[in-house]
Amino acid sequence: MKKQKRINLAISYVILTLASIIILYPMLWVVGTSFNPGRTITSTIIPSNPTFIHYKNLFDLTISDYSLWYVNTLKIAFITMALSVVLVTITGYVFSRYRFVGRKNSLVLFLVLQMVPQFVAIIAIYVLLNMLNLLDTHTALILLYAGGAIPMNTYLAKGYFDTIPKELDEAARMDGAGHLRIFWQIILPLAKPIVATIALFNFMGPFNDFILASLVLRSPEKQTLAVGLYNMISKQFDNNFTLFAAGAVLSALPIVILFFMFQRYFVSGLTAGGTKG
């Protein structure tokens, strides 16, 4: 029995090690490329003559508008995150706690919507934004990101709210609490892990998306990081991949910082907010 456990443990470590290598190697390779002198891609993780010149050039306005792209992306990401958390948590709470006509059909519709690939609706999205005069605006992207996050994240939020005992709601109602107060003071403190997860996922969206951003945004001063970095290296005779790698590394910093800020909520469980004050 002990021998079998050791074999299983060894196999688990081997699988985890291989998975770590597959995940970490491309990341380390991009970081190494960002320190490589010149414009060519390095073939090794550690460059022979590392330099910080590419990070300096990113903020040189004569070379790129990286700082402007960064500000645009952060603005869109923070607003999208806040709006998505509000919409998703309220929608998930309603589906979890209330029974109403069309509830099951709405859940099925959400399930179907999250299965439809984003690019299928690109033409319809473009026509709709053109009709509403929202093309080339950050508002359009924020509405698209926040609205597109509702179906999948609503299922996540609903599933988490279902695990919170309904007896807490009933006890609060006996004390005279209304629906909004129960949601705000009882449910949300218990749902911090799923709220943090939804917030992180929706913050990451504007940093990772290229298709919608390139479709909606036309003015150079309104571009996001994904579009700006692509246009920077796609110009003829300007394949500056080391500068692109430096920009990609810096674009990951806000996501990493937000992850560590929310990390304690991911493991907190249902320990906060379970007492009546």
* pLDDT digit string, tens, across residues 63-90: 889 999 999 999 999 999 999 999 999 9
Confidence band for 267, pLDDT divided at 50, 70 and 90: low
Q: Is residue 275 part of a domain?
A: no
| 97-112 mean pLDDT | 85
Q: Is residue 252 part of a domain?
A: yes
Same-domain pairing of 43 and 65: no
pLDDT at 271: 42
Same-domain pairing of 160 and 205: yes
pTM of the model: 0.86
Among 115, 142, 114, smallest CA distance to 209 is for 142
Last residue of a domain, one of 51, 71, 90: 51
**Are 150 and 87 within 8 A, CB to CB?**
yes
| 1-11 mean pLDDT | 79
DSSP count for the chain of H helices, then E strands: 14, 0
Q: What is the DSSP letter of 42?
A: P
Helix locations, the chain, DSSP H: 2-34, 53-58, 66-97, 103-115, 122-131, 138-162, 167-174, 179-181, 188-190, 192-208, 211-216, 225-234, 241-251, 253-266
Same-domain pairing of 191 and 238: yes
Q: Is residue 97 part of a domain?
A: yes
Q: Other CB atoms closer than 10 Å to residue 96's CB: what's the count?
A: 18
Same-domain pairing of 67 and 128: yes
Same-domain pairing of 93 and 43: no
Same-domain pairing of 102 and 168: yes
Q: Is residue 47 part of a domain?
A: yes
Same-domain pairing of 29 and 132: no
Least confident segment among 46-55, 75-84, 198-207: 46-55
Q: Which amino acid is at 235?
A: K
Same-domain pairing of 248 and 143: yes
Same-domain pairing of 66 and 26: no
Among 98, 268, 91, smallest CA distance to 196 is for 268
Counting the structural domains of the chain, the total is: 2
**Are 65 and 220 within 8 A, CB to CB?**
yes
Task: Check pLDDT > 90 for residue 37.
Answer: no
Same-domain pairing of 37 and 83: no
Q: Is residue 136 part of a domain?
A: yes
Q: Is residue 271 part of a domain?
A: no
What range does the domain containing 178 cover? 61-266
Q: Which amino acid is at 181?
A: R
Q: What is the secondary structure of 67-135 as a DSSP string? A: HHHHHHHHHHHHHHHHHHHHHHHHHHHHHHH---TTHHHHHHHHHHHHHS-GGGGHHHHHHHHHHTT-T
